Amino acid sequence: MSVSAVPAFVQNRSDSQLFIRNSKFEIHLSVIVTFLGTGTSTGVPIVGCSCPVCTSSDPRNKRLRQSVKIESNGQYFLIDTTPDLRLQLLRDPIPRLDFVLFTHSHADHLMGLDDIRPFNFRQRETIHAFANSMTANAVRRAFSYIWSDSQLGGGKPQLELHEVDGPFTHGGVAITPLPVCHGDWTILGYRIGGFAYVTDTNGIPDATMRLLQGVEHLALDGLRPSPRHPTHFIIDEAVECARKVGAKQTWLIHLAHEVDHATVEATLPDGVRLAYDGLVLTMNDEG
């Protein structure tokens, strides 16, 4: 498996996700992950804050709310729909949206859901979404108008919401939900092939650790250096978790304004780095 990690704005690649080798026409699928946002719930810079990170000129310190887009098997999908979704997809566009994976229902991961409507308009179809039962119920409450018989037309997203509690396949993409602790909530991370995504956690159960065995690239919550937080890993805790998982590369995400990219990354051990908005990982299954 080969991996590239380059900013989206300098990447030069074909959108093709099929690799044909030799005269045997062997077909291998890729997983392409783009970090649309790597910030905590406030984003960075924080409104009204004049701290060194919030006023930094380093583009890696500019963080929209946490989300990724993924391309695999000809499918384009999102993990979460942040309040920044419109800006994120104007910067890093996708030609279509096939489905959404929800981690949980906090506002910074959900409240951009209405911005899937342009894909409904163009694709002329309902978009599928997947979540655990707690998150699905919260989506139905927060966006109850989606399923109301009133307000017909283009004024609301067209969404088919599925509850999941184990591995499933959609559009030819195999997806493994990863239950993790977020305070006293159980929320979901997701594994797609060699990539695993675990945001907003302060604890990973043993059963989920087993689901992470053999992962190549792990995106993992690492809020800030200190102090400890009741619902998020801080960086030392994330580094220890990364050591236990043993991924080839761990990328810390959901970063607060206490994290100056250059300063904090210089303190991290081999195999652990800070993600940043626009980071692209391309994982090619070479057999």
**Among 100, 253, 104, which Cα is nearest to 185's?**
104
Backbone φ and ψ of 31, nearest 5°: -120, 120
Q: What is the pLDDT of residue 153?
A: 63
- Arithmetic mean of pLDDT over the chain: 91
- Burial class (CB within 10 angstroms; exposed 0-12, middle 13-18, buried 19+) of 3: middle
Q: What is the pLDDT of residue 154?
A: 63
The one-character DSSP state at 126 is: P
Q: What is the pLDDT of residue 50?
A: 98
Helix (H) or strand (E) holding 210: helix 206-211
Q: Which residues contact 287 (CB under 8 A, 6 or more apart)?
A: 26, 28
Q: How big, in percent rounded to 5, are the helix, strand and coil portions of the chain?
A: 20, 35, 45
Q: What is the pLDDT of residue 151?
A: 66
Tell me the C-alpha to C-alpha distance, in Å, between residue 71 and each of 10, 42, 96, 171: 18, 27, 10, 11
- pLDDT below 70 — which residues of the chain? 1-29, 151-154, 285-287
Whether 9 contacts 26, CB under 8 Å: no
Q: What is the pLDDT of residues 164-176, one digit of tens each?
A: 999 999 999 999 9
- How many domains in the chain? 1
Helix (H) or strand (E) holding 284: strand 279-284
- What CATH code is carried by the domain that includes residue 230? 3.60.15.10
pTM of the model: 0.90
| Structural domain boundaries, residue 42 | 2-284
